[in-house]
Amino acid sequence: MASSAVHGVGTAAGLSLPPAVPTRAAHRNLGDRLFRLLLRAAGATVLLLVVGLAVEMIVGAMPALRAFGWRFLVTSVWDPVAEHFGAVPFVYGTLLSSLLALLIAVPLGVGAAIYLAELAPGWVRPPVAFLVELVAAVPSVVYGLWGIFVLAPLLRTWVQPALGKTLGFLPLFQGPPYGVGMLAAGIVLAIMVVPFITAVSREVLLAVPNSQREAALALGATRWETTRLAVLRYGRSGIIGAILLGLGRALGETMAVTMVIGNRPEVALSLFAPGYTMASVIANEFTEATSDLYLSALIEIGLLLLVVTVAVNALARLLVWSVGGAVKAVRE
Amino acid sequence: MKPAGRRVVNVIMAWLTALAAGAVILPLLMIFGFLLFQGASAVNVDFYTHLPKPVGEDGGGMANAIVGSLVLVGMAAGIGLPIGILGGVYLAESRDRRLPWVVRFLADVLNGVPSIVVGIFAYTLVVLPMRRFSAFAGAVALAVIMLPIVVRTSEEIVRLVPSSLREAALALGIPEWKVVLRVVLPTARAGIITGVMVAVARVAGETAPLLFTAFGNRFWHQRLDQPIAALPLQILAYAIAPYDDWHRQAWAGALVLIGMVFVVSLAARLATRGRFSGVR
């Protein structure tokens, strides 16, 4: 009893102090032990929450898992009336919109990070970095609102007809210009994930040791050559991690996408066509799910989304850690 | 000297990356401009003090949604902050072998879980047993989203507290728990407040996890075990409705929401000015 209490003083402090004198400390060790218990309970709450979340999702998805098995992942029929459910249109929509978003966001995000970490004059950096943070702080529903009333009409009247005329021979740019659809979703997603890619890439670049830069500069390289040859090469895996974190965000993003993607469960090749994502089908149909199997199918889609995003995030964090850049910027 | 070509490339790349940075920020300016242009006219006293009007009648406001959002965020903070801050202290101060590592990892995992999935979790955890949508369910969902942010920022800040302070206090014979509560946490206060505000700003704008937990309400909520309005939900409902007046109100709501979020974000930034700026 006494020895464990002494042990407690040393451990909970996180210090390498010699243990306190046991006899004097005995009466106050009760407080310390209770406090340590409280702290440990708070830590364990996080653990229980995540385990509970996973268990609840699996239990909720069970009826659909039993009813459809692996067919759920290869069927493209979504018919709530006949209770035939397949996830293909949603998986396709999520992947396509996220890839489209990355296609736009990666060059811009990494470019902005290079500018902020390497090439910009010192006085430019703090205000611009702050503005990038604000881009990340805009609520999803506001992006959706902007997407419906500004972006979609813009695409419908100007961008899509122009694209159809010039690149219309590609199946990607065929079909009537609705405005809302895959293209709108990809653009809104790109706007939303780009600040994450910029912020994390910037952290990664700032974590690259200065000796790398100095060595390149000493050899007569220009700022850009230094960035390309020394800094980017050193931070490559971290930047890939930053991109994957952006991908994780894009995959799970719900509201803005739901508002602009058109919500039609179809696999269409054209970017002009409406689509549907895993997150938006849950958002739209969860409260309308009339049967248990319907609800369960929606939860299974949620489970699928959970597994994919957790895998992408875990990989991303490993990559960013490998550069030694703190993933501090990733708070959302 | 460097050959001209290399220097030209250097300048071009500086401009290109600057353009990229501009392109990242441009949407923010566009959205803000549009919000002011479209929404400012509808933000008036009525907007803050009146309930939504029935379809067809112009005017009215989002008073219930503004209050609802404050209630939801307040309840979520009441649940999430104590656990989050204590959890952060645990991660920073504990010398347990495995549990902190697992908790840290899982907090990061939880941070990456899509908010809509958190909504499903709150639905099965609270809504199904209670058999109704409620403010409480919405608050639970938001608290789950806040928790990992608060845990990780609190941990980082508590780690920054110099151990000489702890050692001095312990050397005076003060028990450990008092050292944490009276020395470590007050020292880390500014940083923890920042983490809290970042978390609040984040959940204040969340829509997806509230869809099937708080559910929304066109009237004042009477009790916390009933559906409650929230600003993001109201903006969504008005945005996808076919009435022009509602669209204008949606813009106004978005302006108010974004104003709240930015003020909190700005305050978070200012709170860390001084003591912890520059230290990470």
Q: In this structure, what token pair is assigned to residue B7?
A: 């220097």
Distance from CA of B268 to the nearest CA of A (A): 12
pLDDT in tens, A207-226: 899 999 999 999 999 999 99
B44's CB contacts (< 8 A; 6+ apart) are none
Which of B6, B18, B115 has the CB atom closest to A254's CB atom? Answer: B115
Contacts of A259 in chain B (CB under 8 A): 236, 239-240
Contacts of A52 in chain B (CB under 8 A): 121, 125
Decide if pLDDT at A288 tops 50: yes
- Supply the pLDDT for residue B52: 87
- Interface contact B95-A14, CB threshold 8 A: yes
Average pLDDT over residues A160-168: 90
Decide if pLDDT at A322 tops 80: no
CB B221 within 8 A of CB B228: yes
Distance from CA of A117 to the nearest CA of B (A): 11
- Supply the pLDDT for residue B54: 80
Q: In this structure, what token pair is assigned to residue A69?
A: 């098995």
- Interface contact A141-B6, CB threshold 8 A: no
Interface pTM, i.e. ipTM: 0.91
Decide if pLDDT at A234 tops 50: yes
Please report, in tens digits, the pLDDT of each residue of chain B (280 residues total): 557 889 999 999 999 999 999 999 999 999 999 898 888 888 888 888 888 888 777 778 899 999 999 999 999 999 999 999 999 999 999 888 899 999 999 999 999 999 999 999 999 999 999 999 999 999 999 999 999 999 999 999 999 999 999 999 999 999 989 999 999 999 999 889 988 998 999 999 999 999 999 999 888 988 899 999 999 999 999 999 988 888 989 999 999 999 999 999 888 888 766 444 443 3
- Interface contact B31-A143, CB threshold 8 A: yes
Average pLDDT over residues A185-193: 97
CB B245 within 8 A of CB B39: no
DSSP codes joined into one string, A111-168: HHHHIIIIIS-TTTHHHHHHHHHHHHHS-HHHHHHHIIIIIHHHIIIIIHHHHHHHHT
B32's CB contacts (< 8 A; 6+ apart) are B258
Cα A225 to Cα A179: distance, rounded to the nearest angstrom: 42
Q: Which of B30, B96, B116 to probe the A interface (max A CBs under 10 A)?
A: B116
Cα A277 to Cα A297: distance, rounded to the nearest angstrom: 14
- Supply the pLDDT for residue A323: 74
Contacts of A256 in chain B (CB under 8 A): none
Q: What is the DSSP letter of A85?
A: E
Q: What is the DSSP letter of A19?
A: P
- Supply the pLDDT for residue B57: 78
**Res. A193 pLDDT band, cuts 50 70 90:** very high
Q: Residue A239 CB: number of other CB atoms within 10 A?
A: 25
Paired residues of A78 in beta bridges = A85
Q: Minimal Cα distance from B159: which residue of A?
A: A14
Cα B19 to Cα B22: distance, rounded to the nearest angstrom: 5
Q: Minimal Cα distance from B31: which residue of A?
A: A146
Place of tokens 């992942």: A73
- Supply the pLDDT for residue A318: 85
Contacts of A59 in chain B (CB under 8 A): 124
- Interface contact B16-A111, CB threshold 8 A: yes
Q: Minimal Cα distance from A47: which residue of B?
A: B103
Q: In this structure, what token pair is assigned to residue B140?
A: 């639970």
pLDDT in tens, A65-74: 999 999 999 9
Contacts of B95 in chain A (CB under 8 A): 10-12, 14
Distance from CA of B50 to the nearest CA of A (A): 22
Higher pLDDT, A324 or B46: B46
Contacts of A12 in chain B (CB under 8 A): 93-95, 176
- Supply the pLDDT for residue A1: 35
Contacts of B279 in chain A (CB under 8 A): none
- Interface contact B10-A302, CB threshold 8 A: no
Q: Minimal Cα distance from B206: which residue of A?
A: A139
| Cα-Cα end-to-end distance for chain A | 44
SS3 content of chain A, % helix, strand, coil (to 5): 75, 0, 20
- Supply the pLDDT for residue B59: 77
CATH 3.60.20.10 fits A87-329, yes or no: no
pLDDT in tens, A8-27: 444 444 445 555 555 555 55
- Interface contact A141-B269, CB threshold 8 A: no
DSSP codes joined into one string, B181-239: IIIIHHHTHHHHHHHHHHHHHHHHT--GGGTTTTB--SS---STTS-B--HHHHHHHHH
Residue A273 backbone dihedrals phi, psi, to 5 degrees: -75, 150
Decide if pLDDT at A61 tops 80: yes
- Interface contact B211-A283, CB threshold 8 A: yes
Which of A45, A120, A137 has the CB atom closest to B83's CB atom? Answer: A45
Cα A215 to Cα A208: distance, rounded to the nearest angstrom: 13
- Interface contact A139-B151, CB threshold 8 A: no
- Interface contact A223-B123, CB threshold 8 A: no
Contacts of B10 in chain A (CB under 8 A): 222-225
